[in-house]
Amino acid sequence: MEDNNNPLILSIILILLVFGLSRNLQATGPASIEFISPKEGEIIETGSVNAIKWQTKNIPVSDKVAINIRRVPPPSLQEEGQEFDPIIITNIYNSGSRDWSVSNMYPDGNYILGITSYPSTPVIQPVIAESKQFTIKRTGKSVTFLCDSAKTIGAVFYPENDRFVSLELSDGRNLSVPRAISASGARYANTDETFVFWNKGDTAFITEGEDFKETFSGCLLKAE
């Protein structure tokens, strides 16, 4: 007995094959990602909201995206490493844009964003790209201390979240030093406390090394 359903079944199979072939042809070619923003040399202030934008080629919108950040010289990086969370966004859809609220945990300096696209987790066959170099500048109160031996300390304090102080020293060093416990005044120190910046009212000084030698002493706030 002849099966009258065979032509219909064959037609369905043929349609599915053509659809699948068309889909594969559209996806041919290398997959790639490119940042649109932040742009090279752009200055971004902490406390601002900025749109991170990217465009992809041969990557489905349903794929997931993760974005991270890293600091690069100049200025020189601190020996103890980056004191901030490198993950900005993770496991979002490949929408091409995402708002980024820039917190003040990032020290002043130059940065690069990295983006990774992947179909699902665990991550396999990722597509990776990096942004051009841009700058993050912390918003805060800038002051200058005049010290003995014609030395100076430029300091930026961040009243809204006093976790760090940014320092520019007359010997050419630029540092971002985290707040440390202090019984009197404001004290900022690196991990091993071989660099400590003390500030009390209109006065300041810096100690360095295991012997806590004062390398910037007698510092008084410069009148504005």
Residue 123 and residue 191 in one domain: no
Instruction: Tell me the residue range of the domain where 100 lies.
Output: 31-137
- pLDDT of residue 23 exceeding 50, the answer is no
Question: Per residue in 161-209, pLDDT tens?
Answer: 677 888 999 999 988 888 888 777 789 999 889 999 999 999 999 999 9
Question: How many C-beta atoms lie closer than 10 Å to residue 161's C-beta?
Answer: 13
Residue 41 and residue 124 in one domain: yes
SS3 state at 104: coil
Task: Tell me which of 45-49, 60-64, 158-162 is least confident.
Answer: 158-162
Question: Per residue in 64-110, pLDDT tens?
Answer: 999 999 999 887 776 555 568 899 999 999 999 999 999 878 888 89
Residue 131 and residue 47 in one domain: yes
Q: How far apart are CA 111 and CA 72, in angstroms?
A: 6
Please check whether residue 153 lies inside any domain of the structure.
Answer: yes
Residue 221 near residue 145, CB atoms below 8 Å: yes
CATH number at residue 205: 2.40.128.200
pLDDT at 124: 85
Last residue of a domain, one of 137, 153, 182: 137
Last residue of a domain, one of 100, 121, 137: 137
Give pTM, 2 decimals.
0.58
Residue 48 one-letter amino acid: S
Tally of domains in the chain: 2
- pLDDT of residue 132 exceeding 80, the answer is yes
